[in-house]
Every structure is written in structure tokens, then in C-alpha cells.
A = this chain, B = another copy of it.
């Protein structure tokens, strides 16, 4: 290796992952494949990620004493979910490199701050939105934005939780009450043509990479299926992703979800500062997958090849879906990925299937 081209973090180094679910599990497996050791931090013992990782520390996400011991045992730290307390992230950064850092985390944790940053700092189109702290705010915002509109909690919403679609004036009070005094945001309801996403990355060295456009189909507000590369393409998605990555001075994989309108215009719906369910198809696409891409980005490795060789359709196995794997396991070009979760619950993501389409 020449001086300029050296791999920053060598195999044998330890990567710390905050959060021990399926995303941590698949990150850990990708890191092991590159010769890294993984150390999982999670409140629960021996979960999906820890069981495939060399080291494990159990503690609450705000237990800075446990966090400190964990961080000191690692060479670089990352996280698999965006609800790591901001203070914990800031604390980690005082000891070791944290990628992505506490700043993108703070942005992604609050829908209002997120939308404002994307619109005003990254200069990227988003749905019209207003900050809502009271019923009065909501009434004023509806006059501006119109109906239908979507009222969402600013924090801790996922898979459609903490959302209320307001279709008529007489639902306004009920909508506000459903927020239970949480700070909220009102967004214009978009009649989209497709829901699409882009998974992209930026490395420690500023190198960027992205996968082709992904089309997503939701069921009951949970991602059901992703297909990529999506036809027709929408080249603007990657440009937007690069703007967001650079404006955040980001390191790691990011996912950006869009509403694509009838005229092809893209509006950012939300960003996830991590590997993303809509990027699982990359595992069987014949290129570097999103988990390895994230590990490469945070360790300073070259980004490698993100051009898929195949078109892939990913289907989530939700709840009992995963009990019917016999036919799937016989089907050609179909790959099963289970997460090792102990108990099946309705709505719980138990695994996914990647099918090579061509």
C-alpha cells in the first residue's frame, strides 16, 4: 500500500455498534467478512446482533458509565438506529470517532428540525410543513397548508406510529388530542405516484457512492417490498442524496425516502442516518451491499462497487410470514435472511427474502 492509498482502519480492529437488532446483526456480519471484530451495545443480552458478534456490552442507552467502557474497547463507533440519546452520542464523540456523528442524529431525531435542515441547508425540496405546539398552531397551519394533511409527532415516530391523517375540519381536535401534547409537525398530504428511496454513502475521506433508485411498497405503514433498480429511473434522487450527505458532512450510509409526484418531481419525506430496510436488496445484487458499504465508509476503506449486477425484489417477513419458508427455500434465485428473533409478534420484522428478478 502506498502512503496516500492506505486503508485507514486495518482488519483486526474493533467496530462498536450501538443497538443490537437486525440492522446491527447484518452490519456485524459484513464487518466480520472484512476481518473486523464487532462489539454490540444493547440493553438486552444476546440479541440478533450480539449473537453473531465477538463482544457484547449490555446497558441502558443513557448509562454513560457502561457506554464509556464499551467505547474504550472499540476503535470506531456507529449506530443502527436513530433514537440513540443525543447526549450519549455527544459523549461518545469525546472519546472515539462516531460515524455518522451526533449532528446527523440530532437532525434525524426531530421531524421539524430534519425538514427545516433539508429545505434550508441542503436546499432540497420537501413537503410543505409547519411546527405545531398547540391546537391553535394546528388550526393556523391548516389554513396555510390545506387539507388533507398529516399531523405527526416530531420525535420517536416510525412505521406510521404517531401519525394522524386529517381529512376534514371536524377531525382537527381529535388529531391534536392524539398527539398527547407532544411537539408535532403538520405536513401537506402528498398524492404521490411512487414512494422511492435512495441509499447512499460518504466515506471518512469524502468519497461518495450510491445505489440506483429503489421503489418501495408499504402495507399498514410498514415497508412490505422494495424493488431496485426501479424503472423508470429518476436521476435526481442521487443528486439530492449527495447534497444531503455533503451538507451534513456525513460519514456512513444514509437512506433518503421520497414521494415522487406525477410530474417526476421528488419531495424528501424523511432521512435515516443508517442502513435501511429499503437497502436490504443490495445483499444479493452482485455488488458491495449497504452493510459493507457502511463499514467501508466508517473505516476509511474505498467505497467499492455499488452498481448492481441484478435487479432484486426484497420482501419483508413480518410476524407469521416467516413460518412459511418451505416453498421459498426451494425457489431458485431466492435468498432467505432471518434475524434470529426469539418470539414472533404481529408487525415484528422477522426476516426478509431477496429474489433476483433478472
Quick one: CB contact mask for A291-318 with B, threshold 8 Å, 1 for yes?
Answer: 0000010000110110101100000000
Select the residue from A29, A52, A322 with max chain B CB neighbours within 10 A.
Answer: A52
Closest residue of chain B to A25 (Cβ to Cβ) is B32
Determine whether A68 belongs to the interface, using a CB cutoff of 8 Å to chain B. Answer: no
What residues of B have a CB within 8 angstroms of the CB of A333 in the complex?
286-287, 305, 309
State how many residues of chain A have any CB contact under 8 Å with chain B: 50
Cα–Cα, bound, A224→B329 (Å): 32
Min distance, Cβ A341 to any Cβ of chain B, angstroms: 8
How many copies of this chain sit in the oligomeric assembly?
2
Cα–Cα, bound, A334→B334 (Å): 21
Cα–Cα, bound, A286→B309 (Å): 10
Q: Is the CB of A5 within 8 A of B35?
A: no
Q: Say yes or no: A286-B284 contact (C-beta < 8 A), given A37-B340, A338-B34.
A: yes
Cα–Cα, bound, A337→B11 (Å): 11
Cα–Cα, bound, A29→B337 (Å): 11
Determine whether A143 belongs to the interface, using a CB cutoff of 8 Å to chain B. Answer: no
Min distance, Cβ A311 to any Cβ of chain B, angstroms: 12
Q: Is the CB of B338 within 8 A of A11?
A: yes
Q: Among the listed B6, B51, B304, B305, which residue makes an inter-chain contact with A32, where contact means beta carbons less than 8 Å apart? A: B51
Determine whether A33 belongs to the interface, using a CB cutoff of 8 Å to chain B. Answer: yes
Cα–Cα, bound, A332→B286 (Å): 9
Cα–Cα, bound, A28→B324 (Å): 23
